[in-house]
Structure 1
């Protein structure tokens, strides 16, 4: 394996989902990779190890009923921030926006933490603020 930059790894990772080509993921994941999905709330599911992370991402990439759309990618050294929209239907409310914070070392993904906007109303009073 030749060394890949963080930008190259993230570009290929994103293409796996936009092109529904799970084979692009095969040699991008480190043996000790940790991934936290954005569901279920509040903390998301945690996957540890290459096999668990790869299986999760391959299933997601293979799902042709959904669309992943990167909106903005910011690379800083071995860190990447990817803002995205995930579409699960054709209607205006059939999507969710989110962000992944990813760390790449030696050309492999070692950590990816996913966060998404809530799809429900969160009462302001829950934060100790008046809703009025």
Structure 2
């Protein structure tokens, strides 16, 4: 089976959130994956390891009360930049825009750094909520 390109991995990653289908994530995450979430300020939560990253992202992808929408994606070699909007309500003020800086190695995500355009807390599913 040919190895997935960075573009293919990132496309599948985005579809997991758009379709609320966390199972898509299962074979996209490297064992040594490190991600930094957009909260809490100022540096965001750092999550390390495949299982911890999967737990975090599965909770977010499975939350049908929110909607993730990629606005633009750029891929260059093993790196990808995802501009996105995350909606957590019906009003225009019930969303936040942000960016994820991603790295892919051997067809799997091993780094994901998230940044947003807000200083206020955003209601995101957290690791502890995912276990509840």
Q: Which residue of 1 aligns with 2:31?
A: 31
Distance in structure 1 (CA, Å) of the matches to 2:36 and 2:92: 27
Alignment of 1:48-87 (within 5 A): 48-87=48-87
- Structure 1 residue 119 displacement after superposition: 4.4
Q: Is the 8 A contact 1:96 1:119 kept in 2?
A: no
Distance in structure 2 (CA, Å) of the matches to 1:74 and 1:12: 14
Which of structures 1 and 2 has the bigger CA Rg?
Answer: 1
Gaps of 5+ in 1: 121-132
- Structure 1 residue 2 displacement after superposition: 3.9
Q: Is the 8 A contact 1:14 1:70 kept in 2?
A: yes
- The runs of at least 4 aligned residues of structure 1 exceeding 6 Å deviation read none
Q: Which residue of 2 aligns with 1:104?
A: 104
How many residues are paired up? Answer: 120
- Structure 1 residue 78 displacement after superposition: 0.4
Distance in structure 2 (CA, Å) of the matches to 1:118 and 1:26: 30
Are residues 104 and 35 of structure 1, via their aligned partners in 2, closer, same or farther at CA, if it must alter by over 3 Å?
Answer: same
Q: Which residue of 1 aligns with 2:16?
A: 16
Distance in structure 1 (CA, Å) of the matches to 2:32 and 2:89: 34
Q: Which residue of 1 aligns with 2:4?
A: 4
Cα deviation code 1:6-32 (max 9, x no counterpart): 000000000000000001000000000
TM-score (norm 1): 0.89
Q: Which residue of 2 aligns with 1:126?
A: none
Aligned residues: CA RMSD: 0.9
Structure 1 residue matching 2:100: 3-state secondary structure:
strand
- Structure 1 residue 118 displacement after superposition: 1.4
